[in-house]
Amino acid sequence: MITHHVPATNCPACGKVLNAATNATYEAEEPAPGDYTVCVGCETPLVFGPGCSLAVCDTGSLTAAEREMVEAAVATLREAKRRLGREVAR
């Protein structure tokens, strides 16, 4: 997987500084406004805005397919953290 470095932005839910993202679907593509992501610290679904700004994702407004994709990303992150045997540093 390719890690894209993005301008440092605080997670709007927990305040963790986020400065990188991995595209789970099209790994070569950098994050774009409207793309969903998940905070590695607090696992809150987020959405990219202009300039890689971040907002908490209103999951109630997602289609069933989008919600399923976001839930899968959260599950994948949780599994990765479990496998590491430790929580990613907050």
Which residues here bind Zn ion, judged by CB under 5 A?
Answer: 11, 13-14, 16, 39, 41-42
Nearer to Zn ion, 28 or 84 (CB): 84
**How many residues in total does the chain contain?**
90
- Smallest gap from Cβ 16 to Zn ion, in A, equals 5
Smallest gap from Cβ 75 to Zn ion, in A, equals 17
Q: Which residues contact 50 (CB under 8 A, 6 or more apart)?
A: 33
Give the chain's largest Cα–Cα span. 35
Instruction: List the one residue out of 41, 26, 30 whose CA is nearest residue 6.
Output: 30
Residue 31 per-residue DSSP state: P
Written as six digits, the tokens of 22 are: 């991995």
